[in-house]
Amino acid sequence: MGLEVVEEKDFVHVKFTGVLTREDLVEVGVVADRIERGRERIPHRLADLRAVNEVQIRYEDVRELADARRVLQFPNAFKSAILVANPVQSGMARMFRTLNDNPQIHLEVFEDEAAALAWLRS
């Protein structure tokens, strides 16, 4: 999988491409830690899965990432929009949203980029 992180003016844009695997979810955790470490304020983020053409992850893989995120404490609450293009991506993103019960991370799943950006900026 390819992973590109772009720091926009008011959020961090994480773009995924190719095949999404368990190892990629581990890397996402590393990237999130890098984005969040040492900041006084955690930025909102947009995770764009639309260019993922194959998903090779299991429930356990998603749960592991959610478990790691659940126990973290941040200096502020923030929004995380997940942008999807098909039912497989949507199912995976909704599973992560359900498992992620960190009260500081407000996570929503979108099929429309304009709606996701409007939510992040609201």
How far, in Å, CA of 117 to CA of 11, rounded?
9
Output the CA–CA distances (angstroms, integers) from residue 49 to 38, 77, 121, in the order listed. 27, 23, 20
What DSSP string describes 90-112?
HHHHHHHHHH---TTEEEEEES-
What DSSP string describes 12-50?
EEEEEEEEEEHHHHHHHHHHHHHHHTT-SSPPEEEEEEE
pLDDT confidence of residue 120 = 97
Tell me the CATH number for domain 2-121. Answer: 3.30.750.24
* pLDDT exceeds 90 at position 28: no
Output the CA–CA distances (angstroms, integers) from residue 33 to 2, 27, 30, 72, in the order listed. 18, 10, 5, 10
DSSP state of 85: S
pLDDT band (50, 70, 90) for residue 29: confident
Output the CA–CA distances (angstroms, integers) from residue 108 to 37, 72, 78, 119, in the order listed. 23, 19, 11, 9
Domain ranges of the chain: 2-121
pLDDT confidence of residue 92 = 92
Rounded to two decimals, the pTM is 0.92
- pLDDT tens digits, 59-101: 999 999 999 999 999 999 999 999 999 999 999 999 999 999 8
